[in-house]
Amino acid sequence: MSTVRTITAENFRETVEAGGIVILDFWAPWCGPCRGFAPTFERAAGANPEVVSGKINTDDEQELAAAFDISSIPTLMIFRDKVLLFRQEGALPPAALDDVVAQAKALDMEKVRAEISAHEEAEKAAKAPRA
Protein backbone atom coordinates (compact mmCIF):
# COMPACT_ATOMS: atom_id res chain seq x y z
CA MET A 1 0.00 0.00 0.00
CA SER A 2 1.38 3.39 -1.01
CA THR A 3 2.00 5.96 1.70
CA VAL A 4 2.39 8.68 -0.92
CA ARG A 5 -0.42 11.21 -1.28
CA THR A 6 -1.48 12.99 -4.44
CA ILE A 7 -1.16 16.70 -3.74
CA THR A 8 -3.33 19.18 -5.61
CA ALA A 9 -4.07 22.89 -5.39
CA GLU A 10 -7.09 21.93 -3.29
CA ASN A 11 -5.16 20.03 -0.58
CA PHE A 12 -1.72 21.65 -0.75
CA ARG A 13 -2.25 24.28 1.95
CA GLU A 14 -3.89 21.93 4.45
CA THR A 15 -1.12 19.36 3.86
CA VAL A 16 1.74 21.78 4.52
CA GLU A 17 -0.02 23.70 7.30
CA ALA A 18 -0.85 20.54 9.25
CA GLY A 19 2.69 20.69 10.61
CA GLY A 20 5.34 18.05 10.84
CA ILE A 21 7.56 17.12 7.93
CA VAL A 22 6.16 17.16 4.41
CA ILE A 23 8.19 15.97 1.42
CA LEU A 24 6.87 16.94 -1.99
CA ASP A 25 7.94 15.58 -5.37
CA PHE A 26 7.00 17.78 -8.34
CA TRP A 27 6.92 15.42 -11.34
CA ALA A 28 5.22 14.61 -14.66
CA PRO A 29 4.28 11.24 -16.17
CA TRP A 30 6.29 11.86 -19.38
CA CYS A 31 9.50 12.73 -17.46
CA GLY A 32 12.07 9.91 -17.55
CA PRO A 33 14.08 11.14 -14.53
CA CYS A 34 10.80 11.52 -12.62
CA ARG A 35 9.84 7.91 -13.35
CA GLY A 36 13.36 6.83 -12.36
CA PHE A 37 13.13 8.72 -9.05
CA ALA A 38 9.64 7.39 -8.20
CA PRO A 39 10.83 4.10 -6.57
CA THR A 40 13.34 6.01 -4.43
CA PHE A 41 10.63 8.41 -3.30
CA GLU A 42 8.19 5.53 -2.60
CA ARG A 43 10.85 3.67 -0.58
CA ALA A 44 11.63 6.77 1.49
CA ALA A 45 7.92 7.31 2.11
CA GLY A 46 7.54 3.73 3.32
CA ALA A 47 10.61 4.01 5.55
CA ASN A 48 9.35 7.26 7.14
CA PRO A 49 5.64 6.78 7.89
CA GLU A 50 5.64 9.78 10.26
CA VAL A 51 6.57 12.03 7.32
CA VAL A 52 3.87 13.15 4.89
CA SER A 53 5.04 12.28 1.38
CA GLY A 54 3.23 13.77 -1.58
CA LYS A 55 3.55 13.93 -5.34
CA ILE A 56 2.44 16.91 -7.41
CA ASN A 57 1.81 16.16 -11.09
CA THR A 58 2.97 19.36 -12.79
CA ASP A 59 0.85 18.61 -15.87
CA ASP A 60 -2.32 18.51 -13.77
CA GLU A 61 -1.28 21.21 -11.28
CA GLN A 62 0.25 23.86 -13.53
CA GLU A 63 -0.78 26.77 -11.28
CA LEU A 64 0.79 25.13 -8.23
CA ALA A 65 3.98 24.43 -10.20
CA ALA A 66 4.03 28.05 -11.38
CA ALA A 67 3.49 29.33 -7.84
CA PHE A 68 6.71 27.53 -6.82
CA ASP A 69 8.55 28.52 -9.98
CA ILE A 70 9.15 24.90 -10.97
CA SER A 71 11.31 25.02 -14.08
CA SER A 72 12.86 21.55 -13.92
CA ILE A 73 11.47 18.22 -12.79
CA PRO A 74 11.72 16.31 -10.66
CA THR A 75 11.94 18.98 -7.99
CA LEU A 76 11.93 17.90 -4.36
CA MET A 77 10.83 20.18 -1.50
CA ILE A 78 10.82 19.51 2.22
CA PHE A 79 8.72 21.53 4.63
CA ARG A 80 8.73 21.21 8.39
CA ASP A 81 6.18 23.01 10.52
CA LYS A 82 5.20 25.19 7.51
CA VAL A 83 8.82 26.24 6.82
CA LEU A 84 10.45 25.37 3.50
CA LEU A 85 13.76 23.78 4.51
CA PHE A 86 14.99 22.21 1.29
CA ARG A 87 14.50 22.51 -2.45
CA GLN A 88 16.42 20.44 -5.01
CA GLU A 89 15.96 20.15 -8.75
CA GLY A 90 16.82 16.73 -10.11
CA ALA A 91 16.52 13.24 -8.72
CA LEU A 92 18.38 12.38 -5.55
CA PRO A 93 20.02 9.00 -5.02
CA PRO A 94 18.51 6.97 -2.17
CA ALA A 95 21.31 7.71 0.33
CA ALA A 96 21.10 11.46 -0.34
CA LEU A 97 17.31 11.45 0.12
CA ASP A 98 17.69 9.50 3.38
CA ASP A 99 20.29 12.03 4.56
CA VAL A 100 18.10 15.05 3.76
CA VAL A 101 15.12 13.50 5.56
CA ALA A 102 17.30 12.72 8.60
CA GLN A 103 18.58 16.31 8.64
CA ALA A 104 15.01 17.67 8.49
CA LYS A 105 14.03 15.43 11.41
CA ALA A 106 17.05 16.52 13.48
CA LEU A 107 16.59 20.28 13.09
CA ASP A 108 15.80 22.43 16.10
CA MET A 109 12.83 24.34 14.66
CA GLU A 110 12.93 27.00 17.39
CA LYS A 111 16.45 27.84 16.28
CA VAL A 112 15.38 27.81 12.62
CA ARG A 113 12.51 30.22 13.37
CA ALA A 114 14.84 32.51 15.34
CA GLU A 115 17.29 32.56 12.40
CA ILE A 116 14.48 33.35 9.94
CA SER A 117 13.22 36.15 12.20
CA ALA A 118 16.71 37.63 12.56
CA HIS A 119 17.22 37.50 8.79
CA GLU A 120 13.87 39.21 8.16
CA GLU A 121 14.68 41.93 10.69
CA ALA A 122 18.07 42.52 9.07
CA GLU A 123 16.43 42.82 5.64
CA LYS A 124 13.87 45.27 7.03
CA ALA A 125 16.61 47.36 8.59
CA ALA A 126 18.60 47.38 5.35
CA LYS A 127 15.56 48.63 3.41
CA ALA A 128 14.56 51.29 5.94
CA PRO A 129 15.14 54.89 4.87
CA ARG A 130 18.08 56.51 6.60
CA ALA A 131 17.78 59.89 8.26
Tell me the per-residue pLDDT of 43-80, one tens digit each, with 9 for 90 and over: 999 999 999 999 999 999 999 999 999 999 999 999 99
Tell me the per-residue pLDDT of 30-52, one tens digit each, with 9 for 90 and over: 999 999 999 999 999 999 999 99
Q: Worst-scoring range by mean pLDDT, 8-17, 48-57, 64-73, 107-116?
A: 107-116
CATH number for the domain harbouring residue 8: 3.40.30.10
pLDDT at 126: 84
Cα maximum dimension of the chain: 63
Q: Buried b vs exposed e over 72-105: b needs ≥16 C-beta within 10 Å?
A: ebbbbbbbbbeeebeeeeebbeeeebbebbeebe
Domain extent, residue 68, equals 4-106
Residue 73 is assigned to a structural domain of this protein: yes
Residue 39 is assigned to a structural domain of this protein: yes
pLDDT at 1: 41
pLDDT at 44: 94
Residue 122 is assigned to a structural domain of this protein: no
Whether residue 51 lies in the annotated active site: no
Domain total in the chain: 1
Residue 19 is assigned to a structural domain of this protein: yes
Confidence of residue 112 (pLDDT cuts 50, 70, 90): confident
Residue 116 is assigned to a structural domain of this protein: no
Whether residue 34 lies in the annotated active site: yes
Range list of β-strands (E), 68-123: 75-80, 83-89
- % the chain with pLDDT above 90: 76
Range list of β-strands (E), the chain: 4-6, 21-27, 52-57, 75-80, 83-89
Residue 120 is assigned to a structural domain of this protein: no
Q: Is-above-0.75 flag for pTM?
A: yes
Query: Which one from 31, 45, 78, 97 is the annotated catalytic residue?
Result: 31
Residue 34 is assigned to a structural domain of this protein: yes
Residue 114 is assigned to a structural domain of this protein: no
